[in-house]
Amino acid sequence: MISTPLTPTLSPRQRVSLGSILRAYLQVGLTAFGFTILQKLNSLVLGNHWMDEDELNEGLALVQLYPGPIMVDLTAYVGYKLRGVPGALMATLGFILPSFVLMLVLSAAYFAAGSLPWVHALFLGLEALVVGVILNITLDFGQRAIHGKVEAAVALGAFVAMLFKLNAVLIVLAALGLGAWLLRPGVSAAKTPSRSPQPSPVNTSAKRWVAIGSVVAVVLAVAGLSLALRSDVGRMGLSFLKIGSIAFGNGTTIAPLIQAEVVDGHHWLSLSQFADGIALGQVTPGPFLITAAFVGYKMGGVPAAVLATFAIFAPSFAMTLIFTEVFSRVRDLRAVKGALAGVLASFVSLLAVVTWQLGTVGVQGPASLALAAAAFTGVRYFKLDLILVFLGGLILWAGCLALGLA
């Protein structure tokens, strides 16, 4: 067995170089879109024999117990299990970097040419496609998250609270408390397989915690820097750090909290610009929450985009390192599972409100309504890949514009 100060105990078969981890996740970050991300992540880990299926499934169960984008956190989990904190950094950087660079290029082009009439007309079609895709995600998410009367009541309460424009963060925290109090989901051995923890020397464990503490210190330092800036860019950094610290689920379910901050709360983006940022996040590979870079670029160019991207992903990255170490002690606590169930039920309503609001912007006539319906049908019933839906939809929309039908 091989043991290093920052690396959990691994067999020689599992040990891989940091360069190999970075290259592998750069490839995934360049080629994985939407529904294919989990499939590509699983294929990467299992195909390279980095983990067995039980350990990977345990990681997938783990990353649903705390806030943050699930796929990014699963990436950090695998990297940490392979090479400790450096491995988690390389895996996460590789996964996010391609989409970050692409989003910078697209954001620069968008804000340079967004005032041109033909660009605005083209993005109206893209927004209609997003409405159809997110409507499908809302329905799917509702089917998975609402299993009984309590979840339905939490979802209804969240919906009413959003209509009265209550703070979205407070809504999520209330749902978390109600879930921990009222919900007690059973423990499924199939979903969270029981694995005997590997013994590790106390000295090695202590050094791993020092490394994790260093990551937490960096996150806190960035929060302090954002506060010290006393500007909209600083406030944006604090907003994304807050969202990254409390928002459960995937990128799409976290989008309502971003909208509540950047559109409704601070008016940094218009609803139309936010819808366009969502659309660009959908058509770029890698994690959907790279939309944060779009917001950051609007606020202050490349430096603000870096800050926004760090802030949205860093809190859950740190939590992944911590929870990976303590998972065996908390994974079967029914209060933890209940809190998660309550939060996810509230997200159904938050998504429904966002879908409606984006629909008021992106669906402005029969042609855009038909385009949104076609996108919804394509992803829900024909299981088309997102990139095909967006490319095909934009071609159809361009044809409608050329013929004067839109």
Which pLDDT value is given to residue 34?
Answer: 64
Range of the domain at 94: 8-185+201-403
Question: Is position 284 within any domain?
Answer: yes
Distance from the Cα of residue 146 to its chain's centroid: 20
Which pLDDT value is given to residue 333?
Answer: 67
Q: Number of folded domains in the chain?
A: 1
Q: pLDDT of 52-72, one tens digit each?
A: 887 887 787 678 778 888 889
User: Which tokens belong to 343?
Assistant: 């939060």
Any residues with CB less than 8 A from the CB of 277 and at least 6 apart, and which? 269, 291, 294, 295
Question: Is position 195 within any domain?
Answer: no
Among the ranges given (101-110, 189-198, 202-211), the one the predictor scored with the smallest mean pLDDT: 189-198
Question: Is position 380 within any domain?
Answer: yes
Mean pLDDT of 376-388: 87
Q: Is 80 exceeded by the pLDDT of residue 194?
A: no
Q: pLDDT of 226-250, one tens digit each?
A: 999 999 999 999 999 999 998 776 6
Which pLDDT value is given to residue 2?
Answer: 40
User: Please, what is the angle between helix 232-246 and helix 202-229, to 10°?
Assistant: 140
Question: Is position 191 within any domain?
Answer: no
Going by the DSSP 8-state scheme, the letter that residue 266 receives in this structure is S
pTM for this predicted structure: 0.76
Q: Is 80 exceeded by the pLDDT of residue 13?
A: no
The better pLDDT of the pair 255, 10 is held by: 255
Phi-psi group of 195: left, alpha or beta (phi > 0 → left; psi -120 to 50 → alpha; rest → beta): beta
User: Which tokens belong to 183?
Assistant: 């919900």
Question: Is position 193 within any domain?
Answer: no
Residue 314 and residue 93 in contact, taking contact as beta carbons nearer than 8 Å: no
Question: Is position 327 within any domain?
Answer: yes
Which pLDDT value is given to residue 115?
Answer: 58
